Chains A and B, each alone.
Chain A
Amino acid sequence: MSHRARFAVFVIGVAGLAVLYVLAAFRLPDFGGRFHPYGERAVTSAIAERTKNVVSSVNFDQRAFDTVGEELILFASALGAVVLLRTVRREREEEAGEHGYGPADVFDALRLTGYALLPVTLLIGVYIVAHGHLSPGGGFQGGVVLGTALHLLYLTGDYPALDRLRPVPAFEAGEALAAGVFVILGLAGAGLVIPMNAMVGLEVGCAIVLVLTKFFEQALLVRTDEAGKGEGT
């Protein structure tokens, strides 16, 4: 199919989709109406369970099974990164020190800021996870903060330090076990917002570290032996 034909098919399709969507939008409910069936139901249910943060109540209690699915999606994606970005036969991993991604030559101020921010950011991550049932935040958001906090070390130019701080098997195991506990809590329990938040935080943090590790390895360490192919900069 030529470029033009492809574009024509696409334009016709998108135009049709737009028409369909406009058709669906006729007779929208009035703005500011009083018809909020889901909101009323979710809020009443959350209050009945004494969970202050309704969003957390929906995520980890009322519709916990959805969150189980989402957790497993993240888990499967991290496994996928491990499988698909593994060093395959025609590639090899660089020996340590071959290229020297060691402490890069950066400003002392930058390095100091990174080192100082690391514990603070980790603390904030834990705080966000731990208060998910009361205030905005929770396992997903806190887990992302935790996972990215470690990578402040990369920003300071110290890849070896980051490498030492994240033993991959431990993070794989941590991610898997957190996902497992979450499956049990999500399918068996009810009203367990606090432990579920903690498990999500652990899983998300580990998964992010794992996925980023694989991408770092791919970008920094893995080389194809065939000259010129896949050679990074």
Chain B
Amino acid sequence: MVQAAIAAPALVAVLLAAGGRWLPRPLVDAVATGTVLAVTVLLGAVLAAALRHPVVAWLGGWRPRGGVSAGIPLVADPMAAGLALLVAVLTLAALVFSWRYLVEVQAIYHALMLLFTAAMCAFVLTGDLFDAFVFFELMSVIAYVLTGYKAEEPRTVHGALNFGVINSLGAYVTLMGIGLLYARTGQLGFAAMGARLPGQDHRLVTVAFALVCTGFLVKAAAVPFHFWLADAHAVAPTPVCVLFSGVMVELGVYAVARTYWATFAGAVPGAGPALASLGVVTALLGGVMCVLQRHVKRLLAYSTVSHVGVILLGVAALDHASLAGAAYYLLGHAGVKSALFIAAGTLLNRFETLDERELHGRGRRMRVPGAVFLIGGLGLAGMPPSGLWAGKSLMDEAAERAGWWWAAPVGVVASALTAGAVLRVWLRVFRGVGPSGEGTDEHEDTETGPRMSRLPWTMLAPAIVLAGGAVVLGLITGLIHGVSHAAGLFVDQRGYVAAVLSGGAWHAASEPLHPWTAAGVIGGAAGVVLAVPVAVLGLRRPAPRLLRPAVDRLRAAHSGHVGEYAAWLTAGVALFGLLLFTA
């Protein structure tokens, strides 16, 4: 069953690539959407099974004998199965949005989207580190192609190239780390390596952790590995942005967490503080950069950087309640951010531009996209009962217990900055507030070919469903219990190793978690209250003179020069290693 969820989209993808050119466009759309719908149902069944007991499938029948195997396992614990399901749901939304979307080389676009789904599912479900690397690469290759899909624009090629170079460099560093682990343990599986790490030289273990995580942190766009993200999001087609920001970037954090708990748990004492430092800097820098943007997709991209920083911080607490909070936050963010990207796509479709000033007041009549921006802004601010709020409330409580009093304010600042920027766009574009400024007159492709008389429901429905779902996520008590159960299993290394290598039991006691605490509600309210001045002050044109040099320097650092990005990447690896040894 788990295998079928990976095989089905891959098979339909190759069939579409082989014969899609002879099929009419509606049929191609129907086949692709139907396949993803089937995968969604299949993964729902896998998740239901995994909630009863995690599913372990050894491919090719290479079951371990005496605790060793030459093969590769797929491990569907509730966390992995849930994430794979999220991948499928977001792909479904992206494909429905694409129905009226103009694509050249049409069937290949659908084939790539399906293959992307298969790659992400395989990456999430594999129980083998090297195999994860292979599917990381597959995911990346497809992502580069999808980013560069509108290849006629030079800046599209530029964005895709930056993405490709930086992600590939990160992947090589990960491979170096895998090599180190393999050389000493003779194993490649998460569980098998983890079982043999005790007794290894601690320096080796720490360095290997640093190197393996680098590629994943590049994917997660943690500072200083984050530069590629905005360049890629600004040029990628809208449905592709939905998948990138909604789930692909977050898979980087998932991979760090999986690598830590399945293999390195307890062996790298510096992991928590080191990851937390990266998370804090990422959350704050992403928030600041978000406020500074006026290209709507670029703004949303930096908001993703900021929120993934918060998720990384939640993981870094290395605690099951905090991990549950991070997972919930991820879920809420996926819904809100996907909806926002879709709404941005409708703006691009109407006005051929995404420059916020150029769009001033022009969205007054667009009720649905306007509502999505308002709801999305409030969701990002962490307004109860949104998914982001519930996740943050759980994370803050866990951080408080660990003595990390600064974690909650960092989260509030990140929420206020990113939500303020989105609300500013809402005020300016959909309500026409503020002075109307001159834009850049830069026109972009509408992504639909001839202008449509009105926005089709296929473009609006996914945004409504995703945004609406995300803002009430905090009310679904059953889901919170499920996520907390999943997190409990996720952090149980002994259970993981036993279940994978000897088919043993994998149960974890997890007390039910409640986000409705006084501190949680106050934190959520603070995010909303602080977002308002950020939005209103942002409408006034010039930045205060005091801040201008710092702002200019920040902008200059995000130059689009791929050599600079690569230099920051190497420095980032060294810094992360240093933090792991000293923290």
Contact = CB atoms under 8 A, between A and B. Distances in A.
Contact of A82 (B60, B108, B142, B176): B108
24 contacts: A1-B561, A6-B567, A13-B573, A13-B574, A16-B573, A16-B575, A19-B574, A20-B574, A21-B176, A24-B207, A38-B186, A41-B69, A42-B70, A62-B62, A63-B71, A69-B134, A69-B137, A69-B138, A76-B145, A80-B142, A83-B109, A86-B151, A187-B7, A190-B60
Contact of A24 (B111, B135, B203): B203
Contacts, number: 207
Interface stretch (A95-103, A136-144, A177-185): A177-185
B3 interface: yes
Contacts of A38: 182, 186-188
B407 interface: no
A66 B138 CA distance: 11
Interface in A70-114: 70, 72-73, 75-77, 79-80, 82-86, 88-90
Given A13-B574, A190-B61, A80 B144 contact: yes
B122 interface: yes
A150 interface: no
Interface in B113-146: 115, 118-119, 122, 126, 130-131, 134-135, 137-138, 141-142, 144-145
A41 B70 contact: yes
A72 B115 contact: yes
A227 interface: no
A12 interface: yes
B134 A188 contact: no
Of the candidates A27, A38, A177, the one having the most CB atoms from chain B within 10 angstroms of its own CB is A38
A159 to B, nearest CB: 24
A176 interface: yes
A180 B19 CA distance: 13
B152 A76 contact: no
Contacts of B160: 84
Secondary structure type dominating chain B contacts: helix
A17 interface: yes
B577 interface: yes
A73 B137 CA distance: 7
A150 B536 CA distance: 65
A23 interface: yes
Contacts of A64: 59-60
Interface of B: 3, 6-7, 10-11, 14-15, 17-19, 21, 59-62, 68-72, 104-105, 108-109, 111-112, 115, 118-119, 122, 126, 130-131, 134-135, 137-138, 141-142, 144-145, 148-149, 151-152, 157, 160, 176, 180, 182, 184-188, 201, 203-204, 206-208, 210-211, 556-557, 559, 561, 563-564, 566-575, 577-578
Interface string A41-63: 11001000000000000100111
A217 interface: no
Nearest to A38: B186
A23 B577 CA distance: 11
A14 B206 CA distance: 18
Contact of A76 (B71, B141, B148, B559): B141
Contacts of B7: 183-184, 187-188
Given A13-B573, A84-B151, 19 more contacts: A10-B570, A13-B570, A13-B571, A14-B574, A20-B574, A26-B201, A38-B186, A41-B70, A63-B130, A64-B59, A69-B131, A69-B137, A70-B134, A72-B138, A83-B109, A88-B152, A176-B18, A187-B6, A191-B60
